[in-house]
Amino acid sequence: MDLQNYMEIVVQSKIDQVLKMFPKCCHCDVCKRDIAILALNHLPPKYISTEKGKIFMQMEESSSTSDAMVVQEIVKAIGIVSEHPRHDG
Ligand SMILES: [Zn+2]
């Protein structure tokens, strides 16, 4: 089965954009992955078929309200990760 969680795509596409607003937060790959995991665990998964046309169809359907929800969860995750980074420095 070619299934993918659409939320993963959205979170990954927004994470850099949101991190720019938090210059004090570490931008390394470890922290970025932690932020993505925390955000995704609080967002409802949205599974899509990875067949090309369907991805675009689903993207059209995604509303700006779910975008705002994604940004909100990323911001919360950044707060948690910047207070408890899993590495020194
Ligand atoms: Zn880091």
CA 88–ligand 1 middle distance (angstroms): 8
CA 63–ligand 1 middle distance (angstroms): 31
Q: What is the pLDDT of residues 10-62, one digit of tens each?
A: 999 999 999 999 999 999 999 999 999 999 999 998 887 777 656 665 565 65
Contact 33, 87 (CB under 8 A): no
CA 85–ligand 1 middle distance (angstroms): 6
Domain ranges of the chain: 4-83
CA 28–ligand 1 middle distance (angstroms): 4
Q: What is the pLDDT of residues 55-85, one digit of tens each?
A: 665 565 655 667 889 999 999 999 999 999 8
Taking alpha carbons only, the member of 29, 35, 47 closest to residue 11 is 35
